[in-house]
Amino acid sequence: MDREIWITGVGMVSSAGVGVAAHLEALKNGDAPRVDNDSFAPYRVHPVVAVPFEQQIPKKADQRQMEAWQKLGVFAAGMALDAAGLKGDAERLGRLEMIVAAGGGERDYAVDGQILTQAPLSEHPAEMLNERLMSDIRPTMFLAQLSNLLAGNISIVHGVTGGSRTFMGEEQAGVDALRIAEARIRAGQADAFLVGGSYNAERPDVLLIYAMADYLWARDYAPVMERDAHGGGFILGSGAAFLVVEAADVARARGAKPLARLDAVASDMPARKSGSVAASLDSMWDRIAKGFNPSRGVVFSGASGAAGVTAEEQSVLAQRAGEAAVHITGDLFGHMVEPQFPAGVALAAAALSEGWYDDAVVTGVGHRRGEGTARLSRVD
């Protein structure tokens, strides 16, 4: 089978605003991004705006048991279901499948700090670590770190009770979540999916991890594509993005209107060496974006700013995009890791729905591994 696929609902929240309309407005106006330069100096984050969680998570008890990344994801998922006209439709939600891209949950910073302080001073650091893990890491804390808890909370709050999968693997998790949903609908194995992810960047632990690997941008703020000349680096952003993706025939039957057509999704993961990212993006462009119309087209790039790979992506877009508009999502709301690719697809779908463009390509290049590309088009 080769079914037509529509995106019928999107939900987004980030430092740029709540809802896709707010993001399009920020994009249209060229608004300067919201940046917190002080809380985690010398590193920066794009902090999420104030979110009216009660609009999508009405029970305070539900809100209290969720960490920030879970609340952001459940909120964005609810917005997507609302936009698609599925909210409260128990029968359809019971069949709606879900693929979530997520990392681990938040940690006990006090315990982490004590372990990091004691480890260099201990004569037997491995034994010390094992003792601290057994005495200080509580079962409830471990459960709060489970990546699939986001999907569980979406199911509890919104009643999405079809099949559920959670992908881990940083940026590539978001790419493959959408790719597999698209492939299964195309093949007739499923009718509709809720796809997306969430990320809380305002966490000392994630900043520590990326700082130790020398991935973070520690200079004065600069747009993504200007950082490579100074060693590269990304600025993490808090937020979430979810999409409702469904077979066009199913959407038509229930009277749903499309935001855009999802024509294809491709992913790749070659061994990283000089030129491999450029070759990967070129190959995927040939596979899914032939016939791209630059005069009425747009590219939404999920470039992170990481050294080398960002410059390679820029070189490919300079050759392939032609006169098309190119928007770097990291300049709008920072780098959200797992949901970065779904967020780019959500923006592309919304821009097509508004009639800004007729043709769209979305790219995602992992800071360490993995590449992805999606092709969307306007539905008249």
**pLDDT tens-place string over residues 313-362:** 999 999 999 999 999 999 999 999 999 999 999 999 999 999 999 999 99
pLDDT of 63 over the 70 cut? yes
Q: Which residues of 181-197 are buried (b: 16+ CB within 10 A; e: fewer)?
A: bbebbbeeebbbbbbbb
**Residues 128 and 275 occupy one common structural domain:** no
* pLDDT value at residue 142: 56
Within a 10 A sphere around the Cβ of 75, how many other Cβ atoms?
A: 27
**Residues 137 and 149 occupy one common structural domain:** no
**Residues 349 and 257 occupy one common structural domain:** yes
**Residues 46 and 131 occupy one common structural domain:** no
Q: What is the DSSP letter of 224?
A: G
> Span 104-130, mean pLDDT?
83
Range of the domain at 308: 5-106+145-377
* pLDDT value at residue 129: 85
**Residues 219 and 312 occupy one common structural domain:** yes
**Residues 12 and 71 occupy one common structural domain:** yes
- How many domains is the chain built from? 2
Give backbone dihedrals phi and psi of 349, rounded to 5 degrees, phi first: -60, -45
3-state SS track over 21-50: HHHHHHHHHCCCCCCECCCCCCCCEECCCC
The pair of structure tokens assigned to 13 is 């929240």
Which of the four pLDDT bands, split at 50, 70 and 90, describes residue 69? very high
Who has greater pLDDT, 120 or 297? 297
Q: Does the model's pTM come out above 0.85? A: yes
User: Which positions ≥6 away from 328 have C-beta within 8 Å?
Assistant: 223, 224, 225, 301, 303
* pLDDT value at residue 143: 56
pLDDT of 131 over the 90 cut? no
Which of the four pLDDT bands, split at 50, 70 and 90, describes residue 299? very high
How far apart CA 106 and CA 98 sit, in angstroms, is: 23
**Residues 121 and 178 occupy one common structural domain:** no
* pLDDT value at residue 137: 67
Where residue 305 sits, what CATH number does that domain have? 3.40.47.10
**Residues 118 and 243 occupy one common structural domain:** no
Which stretch of 14-23, 49-58, 202-211 has the lowest confidence by average pLDDT?
Answer: 202-211
pLDDT of 258 over the 70 cut? yes
pLDDT tens digits for range 231-255? 999 999 999 999 999 999 999 999 9
pLDDT of 275 over the 80 cut? yes
Strand partners, 193: 97, 245
Nearest-CA neighbor of 252 among 6, 1, 61, 2?
Answer: 6
**Residues 257 and 309 occupy one common structural domain:** yes
Chain centroid to CA 12? 10
Strand partners, 266: 373
**Residues 14 and 159 occupy one common structural domain:** yes
The answer to whether the CB of 365 falls within 8 A of the CB of 277 is yes
> Span 49-59, mean pLDDT?
97
**Residues 218 and 122 occupy one common structural domain:** no
Instruction: Identify the helix (H) or strand (E) that includes residue 114.
Output: helix 109-118
